[in-house]
Structure 1
Amino acid sequence: MDFPGYEALPRGRHHLTREQVVASQRERLLQGIIEVVAEKGYVHTSVADVLKRARISRETFYEHFSDKQACFLTAFEEGAALLLEVAAKSAGSTEVPVLERFELILSAYLNGLASDPARARTFLFEVYAAGPAAAARRFEIQRRFVELVNGVLLEDERWHLLPDPEFACRMVVGGVAALVTGKVAEGDLAGLPALQAPIMALVRQLIAR
């Protein structure tokens, strides 16, 4: 079966540099494991499955990664970091009201996941099957997201009045993560953007107290 976007590099002479070849191989392996894990689950995904999807030789795979978990963790870290970067950039100028900035971050997060079902399922659901190392890295990404959100919300004096603003932010971000993971587990990716309204209503209530 052919998979679009996984064209093998041309045999023989070509105009690509060694660095370009290596980068192409690595990107195809990372995308390959994301897609296969989303389809088959982490436990049932083998290195052979990734090789077939990425059209990469086994020898080349081990030039990039020591094993399946190393490949998966790299894909998770880079994908999560990119989503975090997009969310941070979406916050816009500090001249924008705080709650609007938070809503922009939330919208970028929810819509980003909804638009990429393979990454959403792999990074939010299957990550738990990849062992303690993956769970620890997911926690670290969530901690960075808490820092981003709390940094924005702290610009509103009302957020400072909460008994423990950072704890409140951890509760909000943890709740968002749980809601999103539930939608992904149900296969309802299209329903992710609809979470925005009730989440915003809750945050407004927290600030209004």
Structure 2
Amino acid sequence: MKTKQSAMAHPAGEAKLTVGGRVRRSRRAEKAEATRARLFAAAIEIVGEYGYAGTSVALITQRAQVAQGTFYNYFQSRQDLLDQLLPSISVQLLAHVRKRVHQAEDSPIAREYARITAFFEFLEQTPHLFKILHEGEIHAPEGFRRHVALQSENYKRALERERHRGHLKASSPEEIDVMAEILMGARDYLSARYCVRNGEIVQPPNHVIDAYMRFVVSGMFVDQPA
């Protein structure tokens, strides 16, 4: 009888340990993710304040309140972290733009207006992006390349959808590629020219958006019904 009771108790005990183990692993994973997020946030602030050249593991871990040794549990090196910064911000930017586009009216012009205004909105909300982006090509080339690829491919997909709906003057995917690069270059140069004021990142004046939209609408879009 004693043996039977032990045999019956074993599976239940094992299940309890398994569930407990999952809970512990889940908590460890959450803690690890929180630590990684703190390191990312600290690195973004440090690069924004001191530039890539002035950023060190010591400054990052001090700002994140993490031991220097812990840093290497998450990143192979300082450069590894720096190369991940732009792509991580890029994903956030795409999510922000996508949200604004989904909230826009169902028209190609409204969607393009949402894309450009969402970009400037995100830039103002994430001011360190400006320095991270413009220094990234030199100091974090791998991260810069991944950022450009993410933005470019998403813009091309959005424009390709507009082309298939008959909204664009473009007649081929090759033209879509060129259009996407022109639009990305425009927002980059416009932000450098109009969004930096007394060392602060601000929204561009309304006439900048208006001029951009007139240029884009007349050059890209087919006439829309009144």
Compute the TM-score of the two structures, normalised by the length of structure 2: 0.74
Paired with 1:83 and 1:161, the residues of 2 have a C-alpha distance of: 28
Instruction: Tell me how large the CA RMSD over aligned residues is.
Output: 2.7
For 2:201, the equivalent position in structure 1 comes to 189
- CA distance 1:182–1:134, shift in 2 (3 Å): farther
Aligned length: 193
Q: How much does 1:33 deviate?
A: 0.4
Compute the TM-score of the two structures, normalised by the length of structure 1: 0.79
Q: Give the counterpart of 2:127 among 109, 113, 117.
A: 117
CA contact (8 A) 1:114 1:120 kept: no
For 1:159, the equivalent position in structure 2 comes to 169
For 2:106, the equivalent position in structure 1 comes to 96
* Greater alpha carbon shift after TM alignment, 27-36 vs 105-114: 105-114
Highest Rg: 1 or 2? 2
1:172 aligns with 2:183: yes
Q: How much does 1:189 deviate?
A: 1.6
- CA distance 1:202–1:149, shift in 2 (3 Å): farther
Q: How much does 1:135 deviate?
A: 3.0
CA contact (8 A) 1:36 1:50 kept: yes
Paired with 2:193 and 2:147, the residues of 1 have a C-alpha distance of: 16
- CA distance 1:37–1:185, shift in 2 (3 Å): farther
1:94-124 deviation line (CA, Å, top 9, x unaligned): 97111011111221111011122123332x2
- Percent identical: 21
Paired with 1:156 and 1:193, the residues of 2 have a C-alpha distance of: 31
- CA distance 1:193–1:128, shift in 2 (3 Å): farther
Paired with 1:168 and 1:73, the residues of 2 have a C-alpha distance of: 27
Uncovered stretches (5+) of structure 1, i.e. residues with no partner: 1-15
1:206 aligns with 2:219: yes
Paired with 1:45 and 1:93, the residues of 2 have a C-alpha distance of: 38
1:54 aligns with 2:64: yes
CA contact (8 A) 1:26 1:64 kept: yes
- CA distance 1:95–1:67, shift in 2 (3 Å): same
Uncovered stretches (5+) of structure 2, i.e. residues with no partner: 1-25
Paired with 1:83 and 1:70, the residues of 2 have a C-alpha distance of: 21
For 1:107, the equivalent position in structure 2 comes to 117
Paired with 1:53 and 1:188, the residues of 2 have a C-alpha distance of: 22
1:156-202 deviation line (CA, Å, top 9, x unaligned): 43423699343123212222123224456664521436442221121
Paired with 1:147 and 1:168, the residues of 2 have a C-alpha distance of: 8
